[in-house]
């Protein structure tokens, strides 16, 4: 019996010792981590990189241009940004917005000019997964919204896109699940692949002007989109462009030629899609061999 008790005591002692060793090791690791962090902070402090206002380029009340500069005499810079009185903070290279943050109300206004330079577009993924953005206003003069610019900005509710925009890239607004409406401006010719996929709150889509192609999966999983009008400019609708939506009616305005789409799942089938409206004098519309004509 004494032997068993001794073994039990020794076993508990080893367990306590093992626990203490692990705890010490963990504390040591945390201590090292804190030491490394302190060293990194001290290193940056020694080199003195700070955002410094460039008064020669700033315009009071319009924009404040700042440079991430070494303040300890090393004469190097590591970036440039513009602080706007309304609409956020932007980093940029030439005429391209590379990133930034909205203002405290969640408003992001993408300007047409910064520091005298015309802004032509956004860099791909410039604001990806930025859940601080609630509203976006793009100023007239900007031409391109590149791929994944607002990728999974889940809190984004409204976007204003000017007629100067000619290109909306792949995945530009994918996963913006709070976005409720979108107007495609008159000079956009292609709604790119996945451009508005998984925008699950989207209830209104207005396509203006020159759109010829609606890309693959463009409105895939837009589950609250119940109706849409396809303008007469459209000649091609991509693979599963409207699959898993809430569409109950589709109106085609093109009357003089064929519109082709590449998948039986482009529009939801079965009971959900009950009405297809064709333009007066419409031609033939095909779907994997099936045809609809104006009756």
What confidence score (pLDDT) does residue 23 get? 41
Q: Which is higher by pLDDT, 9 or 180?
A: 180
Looking at residue 77, its pLDDT comes to: 64
Tens-place pLDDT, residues 232-260: 899 888 889 998 998 887 888 876 656 66
Mean local confidence (pLDDT), 142-162 = 98
CATH numeric code, 95-293: 3.80.10.10
The torsion of the CA quartet 216, 219, 221, 224, rounded to 10 degrees, works out to -160
**How many whole angstroms separate alpha carbon 120 and alpha carbon 167?**
11
Sign of the C-alpha dihedral computed for residues 35, 39, 40 and 42 taken in this order: positive
pLDDT tens digit string along 192-211?
999 999 999 999 999 998 99
Q: How far is it, in rounded angstroms, from Cα 282 to Cα 295?
A: 9
| Cα–Cα distance for residue pair 48/72, rounded to 1 Å | 6
Distance between CA atoms of residues 203 and 223, nearest Å: 9
For residue 32, pLDDT over 70 is answered with: no
The residue to which tokens 């482009």 are assigned = 266
d(CA 161, CA 139): 8
The pLDDT of residue 153 is above 60:
yes
First and final C-alpha spacing in the chain: 98
Average pLDDT over residues 27-35: 40
Q: How far apart are CA 282 and CA 255, in angstroms?
A: 4
Q: What is the pLDDT of residue 147?
A: 98
Per-residue pLDDT tens for 78-105? 778 999 999 999 999 989 999 999 999 9
Instruction: Please give the full DSSP string across the chain, using - where no structure is assigned.
Output: -HHHHHHHHHHHHHHHHHHHHHHHHHHHHHHHHHHHHHHHHHHHHHHTEEEEE-TTT-BTTTBEEEEEEESSS---EEEEEEE-SSS-EEEEETTEEEEEE--TTSEEEE-SEETTEEP-EE-TTTTTT-TT--EEEEPBTB-EE-TTTTTT-TT--EEE--TT--EE-TTTTTT-TT--EEEE-TT--EE-TTTTTT-TT--EEEE-TT--EE-TTTTTT-TT--EEEE-TT--EE-TTTTTT---SEEEE---SS-EEES-TTSS--TTS--EEE--TT--EEEETTEEEE--
Q: What is the pLDDT of residues 70-83, one digit of tens each?
A: 877 666 667 789 99
Mean pLDDT across 259-271? 65
Question: Model confidence over 171-191: pLDDT tens digits?
Answer: 999 999 999 999 999 999 999
The mean pLDDT value of the chain amounts to: 80
């Amino acid at each position: 019996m004494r032997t068993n008790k001794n073994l039990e005591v020794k076993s508990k002692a080893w367990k306590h010792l093992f626990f203490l060793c692990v705890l010490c090791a963990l504390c040591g690791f945390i201590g090292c981590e804190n030491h490394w962090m302190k060293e990194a902070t001290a290193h940056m402090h020694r080199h003195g990189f700070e955002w410094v206002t460039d008064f020669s380029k700033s315009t009071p009340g319009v924009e404040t241009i700042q440079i991430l500069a070494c303040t300890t005499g090393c004469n190097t810079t590591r970036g440039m940004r513009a602080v706007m009185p309304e609409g956020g903070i932007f980093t940029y290279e030439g005429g391209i917005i590379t990133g930034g943050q909205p203002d405290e109300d969640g408003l992001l206004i993408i300007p047409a000019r910064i520091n005298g330079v015309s802004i032509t577009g956004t860099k791909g993924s410039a604001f990806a997964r930025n859940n601080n953005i609630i509203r976006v206003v793009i100023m007239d003069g900007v031409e391109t919204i590149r791929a994944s610019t607002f990728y999974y900005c889940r809190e984004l509710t409204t976007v204003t896109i000017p007629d100067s925009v000619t290109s909306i890239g792949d995945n530009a607004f994918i996963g913006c699940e709070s976005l409720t409406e979108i107007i495609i401006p008159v000079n956009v010719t292609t709604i790119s692949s996945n451009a508005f996929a998984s925008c699950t709150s989207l209830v209104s889509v207005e396509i203006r002007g020159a759109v010829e192609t609606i890309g693959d999966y463009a409105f895939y999983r837009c589950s609250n989109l119940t109706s849409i009008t396809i303008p007469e400019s459209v000649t091609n609708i991509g693979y599963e462009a409207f699959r898993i939506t809430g569409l109950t009616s589709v109106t085609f305005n093109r009357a003089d030629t064929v519109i082709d789409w590449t998948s039986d799942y482009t529009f939801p089938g079965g009971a959900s899609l009950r009405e297809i409206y064709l333009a007066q004098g419409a031609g033939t519309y095909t779907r994997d061999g099936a045809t609809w004509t104006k009756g």
